[in-house]
């Protein structure tokens, strides 16, 4: 994401120039979390938006390159925390901030190509499924050998919780063991080294995201676990599926 390309689509057209006039170090070639935060702080101070969204991505890149829970990833996480602090410091009184993460991460040691031995199997990230009973029998046999990386069987009820473009009623679904993802390999061999030692796209039950909401009028409350998708579903708010913290501000208006 180079800054010149971003500037060509900015609205107003001179937005990058305005930010750079106040913060000369902003106009480096590539957009990173530091420059995203500089832009956010400038807009908070000069444009006073009612809603500002900022996507910090450097931790994602670091975890792809050096795996989650590594020294390098912890360092970027600490830096991300500093950048969020800079944005919070620039927020006007009475504001609220929400911090959310879009997915978790796992270390990857190898790719296993189940289709090389079970051609009818469907492999997608950390799961492999059988569209028919014959393939289901093959997968159950392969599970007995650790080299295939086949882990626990996912129940039909659990599978139905996360609808996707995959077959809706497979004969059987398996998760991968730790360190393994299922997928095609360059020459069709059974195993291969992954291109990245950290990755996401695993079965949703394997990791957790975060949701932090803080600001004026929002009472302290620890929410129970809920689905990430629920945050973006207004129709389900207050339905019992998502225990929403209900802030109160002057005039009865909420802050979210």
User: CA triplet 134, 138, 139: central angle to 5 degrees?
Assistant: 115
What gap in Å lies between CA 207 and CA 103, rounded to an integer? 8
Return the pLDDT at 246: 39
Within 183-224, residue ranges assigned H as helices are: none
Q: In tens digits, what is the pLDDT along the chain, a chain of 256 residues?
A: 899 999 999 999 999 999 999 999 999 999 999 999 999 999 999 999 999 999 999 999 999 999 999 999 999 999 999 999 999 999 999 999 999 887 889 999 999 999 999 999 999 999 999 999 999 999 999 999 999 999 999 999 999 988 788 888 999 999 999 999 999 999 999 999 999 999 998 888 888 888 899 998 899 999 888 877 777 765 444 444 444 443 333 333 322 2
- Give, rounded to a whole angstrom, the gap between the first and last alpha carbons of the chain: 29
Return the pLDDT at 234: 54
**Do 254 and 246 form a contact (C-beta atoms < 8 A)?**
yes
3-state helix, strand, coil in the chain (%, to 5): 35, 15, 45
What gap in Å lies between CA 152 and CA 208, rounded to an integer? 19
What gap in Å lies between CA 205 and CA 73, rounded to an integer? 22
Supply 95's token pair: 């504001």
Confidence (pTM): 0.79
Domain boundaries, the chain: 3-104+206-252, 107-205
């Amino acid at each position: 994401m180079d800054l010149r390309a971003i500037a060509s689509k900015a609205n107003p057209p001179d937005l990058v120039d305005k930010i750079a006039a106040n913060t000369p170090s902003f106009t480096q070639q590539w957009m990173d979390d530091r420059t995203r935060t500089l832009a956010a702080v400038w807009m908070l101070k000069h444009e006073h938006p009612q809603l500002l969204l900022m996507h910090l991505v450097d931790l994602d890149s670091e975890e792809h390159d050096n795996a989650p829970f590594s020294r390098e990833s912890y360092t970027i996480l600490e830096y991300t925390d500093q950048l969020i602090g800079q944005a919070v410091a620039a927020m006007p009184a009475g504001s609220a901030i929400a911090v959310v993460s879009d997915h978790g991460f796992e270390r990857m040691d190898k790719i296993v190509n189940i289709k090389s031995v079970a051609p009818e199997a469907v492999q997608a990230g950390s799961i492999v499924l059988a569209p028919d009973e014959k393939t289901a029998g093959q997968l159950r046999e392969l599970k007995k050998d650790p080299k295939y990386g086949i882990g626990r069987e996912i129940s039909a009820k659990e599978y139905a919780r996360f609808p996707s473009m995959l077959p809706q009623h497979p004969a059987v679904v398996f998760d991968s063991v730790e360190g393994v993802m299922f997928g095609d390999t360059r020459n069709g061999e059974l195993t291969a080294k992954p291109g990245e030692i950290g990755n996401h796209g695993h079965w949703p039950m394997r990791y957790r995201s975060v949701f932090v909401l803080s600001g004026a009028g929002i009472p302290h409350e620890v929410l129970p676990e809920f689905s990430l998708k629920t945050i973006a579903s207004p129709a389900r708010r207050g339905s019992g599926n998502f225990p929403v913290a209900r802030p109160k501000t002057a005039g009865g208006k909420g802050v979210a």
